[in-house]
């Protein structure tokens, strides 16, 4: 499906509106909202703004598109960032937050995460209502970095991925899980990414983010600065 590329005037408000709208639609259609959070800096003010919205948090299921293999109290942890900006500020039941265990063996953590998704999805394959993604300066998204094995994964939903560029293990959603979502939204709000974006939208790039292609869902790029 052709991506919906939006140039935001007020990036944080528009991103927050998009998430809130998706939540209300999911509550109405299926009773719960499955939202995957991204890491990095871009989503921080969005998560803070989302914490102020009057959502029924008891019906929100939070997952993480990727995690750095560090303990949850490490400054590099995406879970810690989400707690500080959003999760500690809203009345979400702890069992609704599916944390990737960055502190244990990465392959075990990835397998456990995939099993947890299956458990939360008695109706069949786990399908997110909304997956938020970022785009790194090398075109990576989630922890799908250029040249890494996770890019080739076609059946598992969550895998461990050693990222030589970062000299660290990561746990990441794979394309099959991302592409199964009802809606995938890239949030890009930092200067200096225009050249990559141009290539991505040209349709000829092989950046990992350019390969995201929801099978039966929407794809939005919300662009700020």
Q: Which residues bind ligand 6PG (CB under 6 A)?
A: 38-42, 65-66, 78, 134-136, 140-142, 190
CB of 39 to ligand 6PG, least distance (A): 3
Closest CB to ligand 6PG among residues 41, 58: 41
Give the tokens for residue 65. 């598109």
Q: What angle do CA 83, 86, 91 make, to 5 degrees?
A: 95
Residues 53-68, buried b or exposed e (16+ Cβ, 10 A)? Answer: eebebebbbbbbbbbb
Closest CB to ligand 6PG among residues 134, 217: 134
Closest CB to ligand 6PG among residues 217, 224: 224
Q: What angle do CA 51, 14, 183 make, to 5 degrees?
A: 85
Instruction: For residue 165, give Cα distances in angstroms to 141, 143, 147, 192.
Output: 14, 11, 10, 19
CB of 29 to ligand 6PG, least distance (A): 27
CB of 102 to ligand 6PG, least distance (A): 10
Closest CB to ligand 6PG among residues 119, 194: 194
Q: d(Cα 194, Cα 11) in Å, to the nearest integer?
A: 16
CB of 20 to ligand 6PG, least distance (A): 20
Residues listed for the chain: 225
Give the tokens for residue 100. 């990737």
CB of 185 to ligand 6PG, least distance (A): 12
Closest CB to ligand 6PG among residues 58, 190: 190
């Amino acid at each position: 499906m052709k991506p919906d590329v939006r140039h935001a005037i007020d990036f944080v408000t528009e991103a927050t509106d998009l998430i809130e709208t998706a939540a209300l639609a999911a509550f109405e259609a299926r009773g719960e909202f499955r939202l995957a959070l991204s890491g990095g800096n871009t989503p921080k003010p969005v998560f803070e703004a989302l914490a102020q919205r009057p959502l029924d948090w008891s019906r929100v299921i939070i997952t993480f598109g990727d995690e750095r293999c560090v303990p949850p109290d490490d400054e590099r942890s995406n879970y810690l960032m989400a707690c500080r900006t959003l999760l500690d500020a809203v009345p979400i039941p702890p069992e609704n937050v599916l944390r990737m265990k960055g502190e244990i063996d990465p392959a075990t953590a990835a397998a456990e995460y995939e099993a947890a998704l299956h458990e939360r999805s008695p109706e069949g394959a786990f399908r997110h209502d909304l997956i938020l993604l970022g785009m790194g300066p090398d075109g990576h998204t989630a922890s799908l970095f250029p040249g890494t094995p996770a890019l080739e994964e076609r059946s598992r939903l969550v895998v461990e991925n050693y990222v030589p560029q970062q000299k660290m293990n990561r746990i990441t959603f794979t394309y099959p899980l991302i592409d199964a979502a009802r809606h995938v939204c890239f949030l890009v709000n930092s200067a200096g990414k225009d050249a990559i974006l141009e290539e991505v939208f040209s349709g000829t790039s092989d950046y990992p983010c350019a390969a995201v292609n929801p099978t039966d869902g929407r794809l939005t790029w919300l662009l700020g600065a």
